[in-house]
């Protein structure tokens, strides 16, 4: 069974199918759907109509619709399949509502599961090249070096780095307190090279001070640095340091996790450091105290094994 892709060539054009035209009229005038949604539903449903030989909306079975969805898994992206499924469910719900179908054949259709690609990470050599920023006369370079080191040193999320404050760092214990997803607090180690980079940044930070007195990282506009700005700076340094791939903040976090796991083999400790534990995994990790995590960190992290300066 051929799978037709949605054709956006003529959005908004009247559908030749009277049932589909009636459905779109209902969505527009009774449900007040946007023009974009109307166009998307029309395109998806017309693609179904053209894909199934001798299609009849009132006769199509759940099996035929599921075969169509399965036949589209290689030619359509998961997002497009999900849109097609949403359009079919809405359409058949309408047909059932007005009494033209006694059932809802699209109700239990499933989009074929696709394996999610593993997040990309940098290897240790690539990470070392990225972090090899030696521009002591450039205040922004000093700040960016501190951000990159902290990302990789502690496996921070982008939001965690942006929202970090000066008071979150305990210099004597070499730790940073972060507020993660679900407002959960984690205490994370800071490697010696990240400490050095942070201290160098703090010497330049007064020149960036404005109304934001607490933010750890500030922009040249004297405000707390934004997530968008951080993404731009990470990508900038990846290109300047000669890396061949696009680098984003989450790649640094994933690299942290991958390198720690490769070195330590301690999945539970790494998962605790990342703050990934849900309710069930949290119970598994309750016996892991911070001293254990710190030992795993000091023994395994590539930037923590280097001598303190």
Residues identified as active-site: 157, 181, 250, 253, 276, 285
CA pair distance 186, 176, nearest whole angstrom:
8
Alpha-carbon distance 209 to 223, whole Å?
A: 8
How far is 218 from 146, CA to CA, in rounded Å?
A: 12
Q: In this structure, how many other beta carbons lie within 10 angstroms of the beta carbon of residue 35?
A: 10
DSSP character string of 68-91: HHHHTTTTS-HHHHHHHHHHHHHH
CA 22 – CA 264 distance, rounded (Å) = 62
DSSP 172: T
DSSP string, 32-66: ---HHHHHHHHHHHHHHHHHSTT--TTT--HHHHH
Contact status, residue 241 vs residue 130, Cβ threshold 8 Å: yes
C-alpha dist (Å) from residue 281 to 69, 130, 236, 287: 35, 33, 37, 12
């Amino acid at each position: 069974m051929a799978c037709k892709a949605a054709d956006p060539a003529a959005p908004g054009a009247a559908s030749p199918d009277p049932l589909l035209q009636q459905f779109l009229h209902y969505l527009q005038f009774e449900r007040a759907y946007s023009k974009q949604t109307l166009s998307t539903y029309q395109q998806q449903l017309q693609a179904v109509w053209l894909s199934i030989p001798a299609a009849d909306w009132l006769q199509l079975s759940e099996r035929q619709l599921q075969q169509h969805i399965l036949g589209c898994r290689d030619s359509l992206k998961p997002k497009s399949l999900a849109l097609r499924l949403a359009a079919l469910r809405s359409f058949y719900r309408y047909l059932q509502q007005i009494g033209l179908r006694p059932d809802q054949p699209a109700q239990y259709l499933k989009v074929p599961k696709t394996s999610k690609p593993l997040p990309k990470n940098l290897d240790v050599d690539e990470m070392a090249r990225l972090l090899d920023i030696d521009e002591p006369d450039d205040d922004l370079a000093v700040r960016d070096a501190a951000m990159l080191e902290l990302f990789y040193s502690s496996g921070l999320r982008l939001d965690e780095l942006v929202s970090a404050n000066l008071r979150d760092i305990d210099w004597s214990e070499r730790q940073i307190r972060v507020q993660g997803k679900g407002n959960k607090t984690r205490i994370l180690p800071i490697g010696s090279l990240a400490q050095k980079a942070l201290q160098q940044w703090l010497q330049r930070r007064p020149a960036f001070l404005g109304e934001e007195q607490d933010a750890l990282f500030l922009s040249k506009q004297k405000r707390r640095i934004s997530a968008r700005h951080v993404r731009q700076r990470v990508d900038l340094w990846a290109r300047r340091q000669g890396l061949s791939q696009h680098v984003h903040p989450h790649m640094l976090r994933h690299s942290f996790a991958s390198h720690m796991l490769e070195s330590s083999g301690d999945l539970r400790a790494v998962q605790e450091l990342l703050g990934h534990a849900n309710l069930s995994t949290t119970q598994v990790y309750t016996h892991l105290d911070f001293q254990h995590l710190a030992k795993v960190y000091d023994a395994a992290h590539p930037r923590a094994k280097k001598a303190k300066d």
